[in-house]
Amino acid sequence: MIFAACVGFPERGAASLLETYHRICERGTLVEAGGFKYLKWEAGERVELWTDVKDGKPEMLFKPFYAGETRMKVALIEKTLRRDEVVSDGAFLCRGKACEGAGWVAGHNPFIFDAIDFHRYDSLSLPRVSTVQLTAFSFQLTGFEDEEAYEEAYPADADGYCWDYKHFIPALICDPQRGEGGELQSAHAEVSGYVNDTGIITNAVTGRDFCWARLDTVGGEVDVVCPPDRLSGYLVKGGIAASRCYLYGRVVEDRCN
């Protein structure tokens, strides 16, 4: 399971995967999306596991998600399928700080997020303004107790330029080339901001801990998760955190223009 350790599930081991498969088959809820079907298991502490159901049988390919309470208003611009279903079924290109008017939508910073329940939005016409919940699955998460500690890690250059405490840098800025068939770029990003809340969460199924933070960044809030061994420094409420991550999200409120 890709990113499983970020929410307290083991990433390897045939026995663990088989046990997880049996649990999701026994306890999962069927979610129908047009001609597609998913099985969703709410494992507790806002942790979810999703898998596709094909030919009436759940696949042994699980996609974890953290269904947090953060929200961000975005302009959904475009959506494309993913060729690699290990990551997700599809992704959205959007812009933060969305605004709308009669017959138009717009936004500021562009970024991409993958949706594990992508086919639930097949009938969604774009562009449109929606509220989404984003979870950053961290490859590396660094916490800073205050702005001074952050400035030591991100010092200004010779011309006085430096990273703001709140920054949101998607990989697509450095990689404008799309994939085959116009597939959107990856949803990798670096997200930094103020820690509105944080905690160590124990996975209710495995007993494994993972780190969580509610991050106030450019355009709104993002949930950030990672295993303890990927955290450097300290996550402190009121402090700052920076995450190198992969973004997953879900549409929680649609504002059709």
* DSSP states of the chain: -TTGGGGT--S--HHHHHHHHHHHHHH-EEEEETTEEEEEEEEETTEEEEEEEETTEE-S--EEEE--S--EEEEEEEEEE-S-TTT-SEEEEEEES-EEETTEEE-SSEEEEEETTGGGGTT--SSEEEEEEEEEEEEEEEEESSHHHHHHHS---TTS----SSEEEEGGGT-----GGG-----EEEEEEEEEEEEEEE-TTT--EEEEEEEEETTEEEEEEE-GGGEEE---TTSEEEEEEEEEEEEEEEE--
Asked which of 66, 82, 116 is the last residue of a domain, the reply is 66
Residues 155 and 249 in one domain: yes
pLDDT class of 254 with cuts at 50, 70, 90: low
Residues 109 and 182 in one domain: yes
pLDDT class of 85 with cuts at 50, 70, 90: confident
Tell whether the model's pLDDT for residue 14 goes beyond 90.
Answer: no
The arithmetic mean of pLDDT across residues 195-199, rounded, is: 98
Tell whether the model's pLDDT for residue 90 goes beyond 50.
Answer: yes
Asked which of 35, 66, 97 is the last residue of a domain, the reply is 66
Structural domain including 55 reads 4-66
Residues 76 and 12 in one domain: no
pLDDT given for residue 176 in this prediction: 82
Tell whether the model's pLDDT for residue 13 goes beyond 90.
Answer: no
pLDDT class of 16 with cuts at 50, 70, 90: confident
Tell whether the model's pLDDT for residue 242 goes beyond 80.
Answer: yes
Higher pLDDT, 209 or 15: 209
pLDDT given for residue 234 in this prediction: 93
Tell whether the model's pLDDT for residue 257 goes beyond 50.
Answer: no
Domain count, the chain: 2
Higher pLDDT, 176 or 21: 21
Tell whether the model's pLDDT for residue 70 goes beyond 90.
Answer: yes
Residues 29 and 143 in one domain: no
Share of the chain above pLDDT 70, in %: 98
Asked which of 66, 97, 118 is the last residue of a domain, the reply is 66
Q: What is the mean pLDDT of the chain?
A: 93
pTM of the model: 0.94
Residues 81 and 58 in one domain: no
